[in-house]
Amino acid sequence: MLTNSQASLIVSKLMEDIPYNINIMNNLGIIIASGDNNRIGTSHRAAERAIKEKKIIEVYQDTHLEKKGTNEPIIYEDIIIGVVGITGDPNEVRPFTKIVKTVALLLIEELNIYKQKEENRVAKNDFLKQIRLSEGMYTELLKKEASEKYELELGQPYYGVFAESKELLRAVAYKKELFDWSEGYIIFVESIDLLEAPSDKFIIVSSLEKNIGQILQDVKQTYAMQKFLKTKTEGINKTDSCYLANLFSFSLPPNQELLKKVKEVAPEYAETLISFARNNKSINDTSLELHIHRNTLNYRIQKIEELTGKNPRIWYELWELFYHFAYHSMNEDVNERTSFI
């Protein structure tokens, strides 16, 4: 459980403050990190003794086999996972050995906690993936996993409650299992009668559904629509009041030629097109919202038409542009997150 990289990190950091050479050995007594690089990979006799006898070994005189110093086993969950050794007079280096051992244990504990959280996150993501693929037809094995791990009874109706902040959902329903979902977090509750959210916070609530996969889809599409249109409002937003969100399933394949043009103009003109659509093609309202002159807005609309071949002033061409701008935006977000990961 004590890796070479962990040991090297401990030694490199603590050697800056401790005026003695630090060695860290694995559970076989092999030096895996040291202030003296020449010793890495060699056996440490005192560490081997410390492991065998399960106690601190102190060497008071240099010999051709050992250097004086203190060597203390690192014990994690009743298992010796390594040894900390500091070269020098044991009476002087003993306190530093304790410090290095404590730091090593803290780092291991922190990494193990992170590893467990990551394993739980991956397991939850896999569970939600299986839920979506099931399309409401759950296997007995999936039902058992849902019940035993997440206290969900598949086949029973639930509301999905989504927020960008996990702390907000904890406050809303602290006992419910929390899942990562669509750039935020989601919980599933049987009732929303007592649901209260701070008026200055953004929450999405799905309709009551037996199909959790449908809940996930509705929430994701509603969030995507509000993010794209910049219409996220504080308080509770219900998916069944956002019919337009169904467009964000992108069930219609995009026109690839138009999509290519949209990709080129989106960085400069996406905000203008979204505002123009949101303001019902009103030049006055759009120019006020964007804080630009009417002539500047008219110039931008003209440029969008020239570069895409679609006229935003015509409602069905505006709809076509809107759809392709949204498709491009959503896929760009996915690519950016995947690249970062």
For 175-199, how does the pLDDT look when each residue is reduced to its tens digit (9 = 90+)? 899 999 988 999 999 998 877 767 7
Instruction: Answer yes or no: are the C-beta atoms of 213 and 135 closer than 8 Å.
Output: yes
Q: What is the CATH number of the domain that holds 287?
A: 1.10.10.2840
Q: What is the DSSP string of 263-286?
A: HHHHHHHHHHHHHHHHTTT-HHHH
Selected residue with higher pLDDT from 334 and 80 = 80
Residue 131 in domain: no
The rounded percent of the chain whose pLDDT value lies above 90 is: 68
Q: Report how far residue 65's alpha carbon sits from residue 266's, in angstroms, rounded to the nearest whole number.
A: 70
Mean pLDDT of the chain: 90
Q: Is residue 144 part of a domain?
A: no
Cα–Cα distance measured from residue 188 to residue 181, given in angstroms and rounded to the nearest whole number: 12
The residue with greater pLDDT, 252 or 331, is 252
Is residue 62 exposed (0-12), middle (13-18) or buried (19+ Cβ within 10 Å)? Answer: exposed
Same domain, 159 and 261: no
| 3 state SS of 151 | coil
Evaluate whether residue 311 is within a structural domain. yes
Checking if the pLDDT of 266 tops 50, the result is yes
Stretch 54-64: mean pLDDT:
92
Structure tokens at 156: 């029973």
Residues 164 and 198 grouped into a single domain: yes
Residue 232 lies in domain: 155-249
In a domain, 120, yes or no: no
Residues 165 and 70 grouped into a single domain: no
Mean pLDDT value of segment 29-56: 94
pLDDT at 338 over 70: no
Question: Which pLDDT belongs to residue 333?
Answer: 59
Checking phi first, is residue 78 left (phi over 0); if not, alpha (psi -120 to 50) or beta?
A: left
Are 266 and 330 in a shared domain?
Answer: yes
Q: Is residue 307 part of a domain?
A: yes
Model-level pTM greater than 0.95? no
Is 200 found in the same domain as 301?
A: no
Question: How far is residue 186's CA from residue 2's CA, in Å, rounded to a whole number?
Answer: 35
Same domain? 266 vs 242: no
Is 202 inside a domain boundary? yes
Residues 189 and 277 in one domain: no
- Given a cut of 60, whether residue 341 has pLDDT beyond it is no
User: How far is the C-alpha of 316 from the C-alpha of 337, rounded, in Å?
Assistant: 32
- Tell me the average pLDDT across 235-260: 88
Nearest to 311 by CA among 190, 178, 147, 319: 319
Share of the chain above pLDDT 70, in %: 97
**Judgement on whether residues 175 and 239 belong to the same structural domain of the protein:** yes
The answer to whether residue 202 scores a pLDDT higher than 70 is: yes
Query: What CATH number is given to the structural domain containing 36?
Result: 3.30.450.40
Region 241-253: mean pLDDT is 84
Contact by Cβ (8 Å): 216, 181:
yes
Instruction: Kindly state whether residues 41 and 61 are assigned to the same domain.
Output: yes
Let me know if 305 is exposed, middle or buried by CB neighbors in 10 A (0-12, 13-18, 19+).
middle
- Among 219, 249, 279, identify where a domain stops: 249
Looking at residue 269, what is its pLDDT? 95
Question: Is 298 among the domain residues?
Answer: yes
131, 209 in Cβ contact below 8 A? no
Q: Among residues 90, 115, 140, which one ends one of the domains?
A: 115
Q: 277 and 226: one domain?
A: no
Average pLDDT over residues 25-53: 94
138 occurs within a structural domain: no
* pLDDT tens sequence across 121-153: 999 999 999 999 998 899 999 999 999 999 999
Query: Taking 60 as the threshold, does the pLDDT of residue 309 lie above it?
Result: yes
Least confident residue range of 25-29, 36-40, 225-229: 225-229
In a shared domain, residues 171 and 264: no
pLDDT at position 26: 94
Last residue in a domain, options 203, 220, 249: 249
**24 has pLDDT over 80:** yes
Number of domains making up the chain? 3
**111 shares a domain with 9:** yes
